[in-house]
Structure 1
Amino acid sequence: MESILGWIAENQQMIYIVILMIFVGIEVIGHVPSVLHTPLMSGANAIHGVVIIGAIIVMGKADPHNYVALVLGFLAVVVGTLNVVGGFVVTDRMLEMFKGKGKKQNTSSK
């Protein structure tokens, strides 16, 4: 228990920063207009693509006999890929909502 309290005392400033980042993030996201959600999601997907590349690089540099690092790297790549693909699917569906209904075809016979 003392080791945990010691770690908290050593990292107190970082803990405060993380807590403040959480509150600022909630406030910023809560005040984003609906029109901007789709571009912001596309930007977040691009950032996640960089994370996937980083996970692949780290996994490639891991020791071949370090199975824990290889499995965690593989899981990071899989989950990151699912996140990117899911984000683009949601973005595509949101963009479909903004498209017009299209012109109705004339089905009456003459």
Structure 2
Amino acid sequence: MDLFGLVTITVLAVFLGFEVVSKVSSTLHTPLMSEANAIHGIILLGAIMVAGQADDPLILAVSLLAVVLATINIVGGFVVTDRMLVMFAAKPRRARKDDAS
């Protein structure tokens, strides 16, 4: 595929991703983040496969950059998801002085 085709696919993917994510209500952001982590895992595997078969130094550099960015995105997504789940977790009740036996 030529450079124009790759750039066109990238621009369309960015536009579609922005449109899909911007229409999600705030109550669905935690499940969406978890799905995004799964998708970034697939992207990470694809970037590793491309890096392993790269003959051109430019392709190797771009694929290694994709590996680093996908890894950062996965770790950050799990951290944000964990923090959001902690925010919504039930808080333990404190024992009142009246309840002490």
- Common fold, TM-score beyond 0.5? yes
Structure 1 residues 25 and 70: alpha-carbon distance in aligned structure 2, compared to 1, 3 A threshold: closer
CA distance in 2, matches of 1:60, 1:47: 20
Task: Give me the identity figure in percent.
Answer: 51
CA distance in 1, matches of 2:17, 2:57: 38
CA distance in 1, matches of 2:67, 2:91: 38
Q: Which has the larger radius of gyration?
A: 1
**Structure 2 residue ranges without an equivalent (≥5):** none
1:71-90 to 2 correspondences below 5 Å: 71-90=61-80
Establish whether residue 47 from structure 1 lines up as the match of residue 39 from structure 2. Answer: yes
Indicate the RMSD between aligned Cα atoms, in angstroms. 3.1
What is the TM-score normalised by the length of structure 2?
A: 0.71
**Structure 1 residue ranges without an equivalent (≥5):** 1-6
Establish whether residue 99 from structure 1 lines up as the match of residue 89 from structure 2. Answer: yes
Structure 1 residues 98 and 52: alpha-carbon distance in aligned structure 2, compared to 1, 3 A threshold: same
Deviation at 1:35, TM superposition (A): 1.8
